[in-house]
Amino acid sequence: MLDSDNAAFIQTGVSISLASCAPDGLPSMNLGLGCKLVDAGRQVGVFLRRSQSLALLDNIRSSGRIANVFSLPSSNHTLQLKGSDARIVPFSPEDLPIIERHIADFVLEVIPLGMPEAVVRAILAYSPDDLVTVTYSPCAAFSQTPGPKAGEPLATR
């Protein structure tokens, strides 16, 4: 589903967010702390803080449907992936360096835009025992970079 450009893009200093709907339709969302490719790139794994994502995780458990947005603040380049087979798996401590690198990349990305580093680090603060991983197979991808082509499906590989 993901071409190599998009696969590389989602693993740079992008802002990552995830949403899922409750059975009554009410969505919930939260920020992700980095992501990785699983199963030879067929799946994406996103790291979430459990304490901040209780409703979101409930929704994922009940529906498996998620929307996952990646956006690079300096360029507004934005990609949305959808999945309908999302599941929650325990966080593997081996992935901690991915999170650390993601936060470092994101800080480098937004500080030139005027964001105070302390605020950015507070927004992304986590404790390792609070982390979970959500994995899913992207079934649709959309460009959401603002402009006339925003919302158009990306050609699949």
DSSP letter for each residue of 68-102 = EEEEETTTTEEEEEEESS-EEEEPPGGGHHHHHHH
The token pair at 112 is 């030139």
Report, in Å, the least distance between residue 40 CB and another protein: 25
Binding site for another protein (CB under 8 A): 17-21, 23-31, 49, 51-52, 63, 65-69, 71, 76, 78, 80, 82, 84, 115-116, 118-120, 122-123, 125, 142, 144, 146-148, 150-151
Q: How far is the CB of 150 from another protein (least distance, A)?
A: 6
Supply the minimum distance, in Å, between the C-beta of residue 37 and another protein: 20
Contacts of 37 (CB under 8 A, 6+ apart): 2, 7, 11, 43, 44, 45
What is the C-alpha to C-alpha distance for residues 42 and 134, in angstroms, rounded to an integer?
A: 14
> 40 or 107, CB closer to another protein?
107
Minimum Å gap between C-beta 21 and another protein is 4
Q: Which is nearer to another protein, 85 or 94 (CB)?
A: 85
> How many Cβ atoms from other residues are within 10 Å of residue 110's Cβ?
18
